[in-house]
Amino acid sequence: MNRQDFLKKSFLLTAGGLISINGFSRQLSEPAERVTILYTNDTHARIDPFPENALNYAGLGGASRRATLIKRIREHSPHTLLLDAGDVFQGTAWFNLFGGEKDLKLMSMMGYDAMCLGNHEFDNGLEGFAEVAPAAEFPFLCANYRVKGTPLAPFVRQFIIREKAGVRFGIFGLGIRLRGLVQPELYGDVRYANPVSWAERLVEHLRETYRCDYIICLSHLGYHYDDDRIDDRKLASQVNGIDLIIGGHTHNFLDQPEAVTTPNGQSTLITQAGHSGINLGRIDLDLNGYGDIGTVLSHQYTIGKTSQPVYTG
């Protein structure tokens, strides 16, 4: 599959209708298959729903409801990726008591393919992370953290390859600068490196060496800052070849992905699903039967007491 062909045939479906990327607006023929990308970020140990008397988000969220929704979606769309952009740890008594182990076990039961390291994954130090990490039946991704020689080394990878419906996905992670955000004794010998340089390196490696058709970056950099800190929008505007950035850290509820123009004039989509497991994000990539990726459909499910319909069209 050619990236340029993908971008020419990519769309966002919103309440207002079909919006084309790069000015191309031809509807493709009936898709033969679909790949669904589901995602979360910054769930922050919110295993239970928010209490009914909560000031904000009363009764919303809950890991059990999320698991049920994911199961229902997979029944209609079996070629599904499930990803998280970090900060699974910290936020409720579940983390205080179990250090993230219960969250990782639940995510494993849901069938997550990977998660990015967030800054709160360091809240119990490197040994604390290493103690609960075996509960995850999926890899932790972060290309720009040097973890060699630390307790994180057995668990953290730069990237993974997944194939769904004949489409080869290259998925890599990027973490935020830890200095000034996390106490030095908690991250120890883990070293941060420039995420833009690592993104450029990984995109080239995944496309040229592994012949990936679609590149996903799991980012815990944050959506947007007014200063010179690197964020998802700056990353997309500086690096060619990333198809989708699933972000975290800044807790943005983005109803639809944002298309950012890359240096070569193409587009990278950026999305984020808020925080606390309130939303489950979804992007559908439709295949036209000839190995090309067609229509890109996006949706955010708000997980609450009322069961919501699952898109099957």
Number of structural domains in the chain:
1
Q: What is the mean pLDDT of residues 158-178?
A: 97
Q: Is the pLDDT of residue 53 over 70?
A: yes
Q: 19 vs 191, which has greater pLDDT?
A: 191
Token pair in block for residue 293: 């990726």
Q: Is the pLDDT of residue 23 over 50?
A: no
Domain-embedded: residue 310: no
> Where in the sequence is the domain holding 108, given as residue range(s)?
3-18+28-302
Q: What is the mean pLDDT of residues 86-92?
A: 98
Domain-embedded: residue 284: yes
Phi (first) and psi of residue 300, to 5 degrees:
-120, 125
Token pair in block for residue 48: 């239970």
What is d(CA 76, CA 310) in angstroms, rounded to the nearest whole number? 9
Q: Is the pLDDT of residue 282 over 70?
A: yes
Which pLDDT score is estimated for 292?
A: 66
Q: What is the mean pLDDT of residues 181-200?
A: 98
Domain-embedded: residue 309: no
Which pLDDT score is estimated for 25?
A: 28
pTM, full prediction: 0.88
Domain-embedded: residue 248: yes
Q: Provide the CATH number for the domain around residue 96.
A: 3.60.21.10
Q: Is the pLDDT of residue 119 over 60?
A: yes
**Chain centre to alpha carbon of residue 231:** 15
Q: Is the pLDDT of residue 304 over 90?
A: no
Q: 292 vs 233, which has greater pLDDT?
A: 233
Which pLDDT score is estimated for 306?
A: 52
The per-residue pLDDT for range 267-276, each reduced to its tens digit, is 999 999 999 9
Domain-embedded: residue 59: yes
What is d(CA 230, CA 240) in angstroms, rounded to the nearest whole number? 16
Domain-embedded: residue 266: yes
Domain-embedded: residue 311: no
Phi/psi region, residue 241 (left: phi>0; alpha: psi -120 to 50; beta: rest), is left
CB atoms closer than 10 angstroms to residue 134: 11
Q: Is the pLDDT of residue 295 over 80?
A: no
The per-residue pLDDT for range 224-266, each reduced to its tens digit, is 999 999 999 999 999 999 999 999 999 999 989 999 999 999 9
- Read off the pLDDT band of 290 (50, 70, 90): low
Q: Is the pLDDT of residue 49 over 60?
A: yes
Q: What is the mean pLDDT of residues 50-68?
A: 95
Per the prediction, the chain carries an average pLDDT of 88
Domain-embedded: residue 308: no
